[in-house]
Structure 1
Amino acid sequence: MYTTDRFKDIYATKNDIDWTLLDNVQSIIKSVQKEGDQALYDYSKKFDSVDLTDLEIPHTALKDAYDSIDSDLRDALIAAKENIEAYQQSIKWTQSEASELYQKIHPLNRVGIYVPGGTAPLVSTVLMTTVLANVAGVNETIIVTPPQKDGIQQAILAACYIVEADHVYQVGGAQAIAALAYGTETIPKVDKIVGPGNQYVALAKKLVYGDVGIDSIAGPSEIVVVVDETTRADWVAYDLLAQAEHDIQARTFLISENKEKLDEIMTVVAEKAGLQPRAEIIAKSLEDHHYSVHTASKQETVDTVNLIAGEHISIQTEDAATYVDLITTGGALFIGTYSPEAIGDYVAGPSHVLPTGGNARFSNGLSVNDFLRTNSVIHLSNETFNQMAPSGIRLAKEEALQAHHDSLYFRLEDNH
Structure 2
Amino acid sequence: MLTAKEFNEKFNDRNRFDWTKVNDVLGIIKSVQTEGDAALDRFTKQFDGPDAEVREVPAGELKSAFDALEPGLKAALTQAKKNIEAYQRKIKWPEPEADGLHPVLHPIRRTGIYVPGGKASYPSTVLMTAVPARVAGVEEITVVTPPPVNPSTLAACYMCGVDHVYTVGGAQAIAALAYGTDMIRRVDKIVGPGNQFVALAKKLVYGDVGIDSIAGPSELAVVVDSTANAEWAAYDLLAQAEHDEMARTFLVSEDREKLEEVSRLASALAEEAPRADIIKESLRTNHYAVLCENRDEIIQVLDRIAPEHLSVQTADAETYARDVRNAGALFVGGFSPEALGDYSAGPSHVLPTSGNARFQSGLSVNDFLKTNAVIRVTEESYPALASAALPIAKSEQLHAHAASIEVRLGKRGNE
State which of 185, 191, 194 in structure 2 corresponds to 1:194: 191
CA contact (8 A) 1:50 1:147 kept: no
Q: Deviations over 1:124-157 (max 9, x none)?
A: 0000000000000000000000012xxx111101
* Secondary structure, counterpart of 1:274 in structure 2: helix
**1:53-85, CA deviations, whole angstroms, 9 ceiling, x for partnerless residues?**
551011111001001111111111110000000
Partner residue in 1 for 2:16? 16
> How much has 1:399 moved relative to structure 2?
1.0
- Where does residue 332 of structure 1 map in the other structure? 329
Q: Does 1:397 align with 2:394?
A: yes
CA distance in 1, matches of 2:161, 2:258: 47
Q: Which residue of structure 2 aligns with residue 320 of structure 1?
A: 317
DSSP 3-state at the match of 1:13: coil
1:232 equivalent in alignment to 2:229:
yes
- Residues in 2 aligned to 1:98 and 1:27: alpha-carbon distance in whole angstroms: 48
Render the CA deviation track for 1:98-130: whole Å, top value 9, x for unaligned.
Answer: 410000000000000000014432220000000
Amino acid at match of 2:256: K
1:262-281 Cα offsets, whole Å, 9 max, x none, are: 11011111111122111100
Conserved? CA contact 1:44–1:52, under 8 Å: yes
Kindly provide the amino acid, as one letter, of the partner of residue 241 in structure 2: A
Paired amino acid for 2:159: I
Matched, 1:114 2:111: no
Displacement after TM superposition at 1:313 (Å): 0.6
Matched residues in 2 for 1:410 and 1:13: separation? 55
The AA in structure 2 aligned to 1:254 is L
Alignment partner for residue 289 of structure 2, among 280, 289, 292? Answer: 292
**1:246 aligned onto 2:206:** no
| Residue 407 of structure 2 is aligned to residue 375 of structure 1 | no
Q: Distance in 1 between matches of 2:22 and 2:16?
A: 13
Measured against aligned partners, the alpha-carbon deviations of 1:271-298 in whole angstroms (never above 9, x if no partner) come to 1112211110000000000000000000
Query: RMSD of the TM alignment (CA)?
Result: 1.2
Distance 1:119 1:280, change over 3 A: farther
**Structure 2 residue 217 is matched with structure 1 residue 220:** yes
How many residues are treated as equivalent by the alignment? 413
Q: Please point out which of 149, 167, 172 is paired with 2:169.
A: 172
2:272 is paired with a residue whose SS is coil
Instruction: Quote the offset at 1:305 in angstroms.
Output: 0.4
Question: What does the per-residue CA deviation read over 1:192-226, in whole Å, with 9 as the maximum and x for residues that have no partner?
Answer: 00000001001000000000000000000000000
What letter is aligned with 2:217? P
2:265 aligned partner, one-letter code: V
Equivalent position SS for 2:193: coil
Give 3-state SS (helix, strand or coil) of 1:291's partner. strand
Question: In 2, Cα distance between the equivalents of 1:124 and 1:274?
Answer: 27
Alpha-carbon distance between aligned partners in 2 of 1:119 and 1:286, rounded to the nearest angstrom: 23
Aligned: 1:59 with 2:62? no
1:26-49 per-position Cα deviation (integer Å, ceiling 9, x unaligned): 110011011101111111111000
Structure 1 residues 231 and 178, CA gap change in structure 2 (3 angstroms): same
3-state SS of 1:280 partner: helix
The one-letter amino acid paired with 1:12 is N
In structure 1, runs of 5+ residues without a counterpart are none
Counterpart amino acid of 2:142?
I
Q: Which amino acid aligns with 1:86?
A: A
Pair 1:302-2:329 in alignment? no
Mapped partners of 1:14, 1:131: distance in 2: 31
Report how far residue 52 of structure 1 moved. Answer: 4.5
Distance 2:398 2:131 in 1: 48
User: Helix, strand or coil: the match of 2:326?
Assistant: coil
Seen in structure 2, the aligned counterparts of structure 1 residues 139 and 248 have a Cα distance that, compared at 3 Å, is: same
Q: Does 1:28 align with 2:28?
A: yes
SS at match of 1:339: coil
- Letter paired with 2:75: D
Does the aligned pair in 1 maintain the 2:143–2:164 contact within 8 Å?
yes
- Taking the aligned partners of 1:51 and 1:396, their CA distance within structure 2 comes to 64
Question: What letter is aligned with 2:138?
Answer: V
Q: What's the CA shift for 1:413?
A: 1.9
Shift of 1:406: 1.1
Q: Give SS of 2:237's match.
A: helix
SS in 1 for 2:410: helix
Deviations 1:368-395 (A, max 9, x none): 0000000100011111112111221111
Taking the aligned partners of 1:305 and 1:364, their CA distance within structure 2 comes to: 16
Normalised TM-score (structure 2): 0.98
Q: Is the contact between residue 44 and residue 51 of structure 1 (CA under 8 Å) also seen in structure 2?
A: no
Secondary structure of 1:383's counterpart equals coil
How far, CA to CA, are the matches of 2:30 and 2:186 in structure 1? 15
Identity %: 56
- Equivalent residue runs for 1:360-371 within 5 Å: 360-371=357-368
Alpha-carbon spacing, 1:2–1:83, altered in 2? closer, same or farther (3 Å): same
C-alpha distance in structure 2 between counterparts of 1:276 and 1:384, whole Å: 70
- Partner residue in 2 for 1:102: 102
Deviates more, 1:43-52 or 1:335-344: 43-52
Deviations 1:231-285 (A, max 9, x none): 0000011100000000000000000000000110111111111221111000000
Q: Which amino acid aligns with 1:156?
A: T
Task: Give TM-score scaled by structure 1 length.
Answer: 0.98
1:30-179 to 2 correspondences below 5 Å: 30-52=30-52, 54-148=54-148, 152-179=149-176
Q: Which residue of 1 aligns with 2:352?
A: 355
Secondary structure at 1:255 match in 2: strand
Contact kept, 8 Å, 1:224 with 1:312, in 2: the verdict is: yes
Q: Which amino acid aligns with 2:402?
A: H
Instruction: Give the partner amino acid of 1:232.
Output: N
2: CA distance between counterparts of 1:263 and 1:370? 41
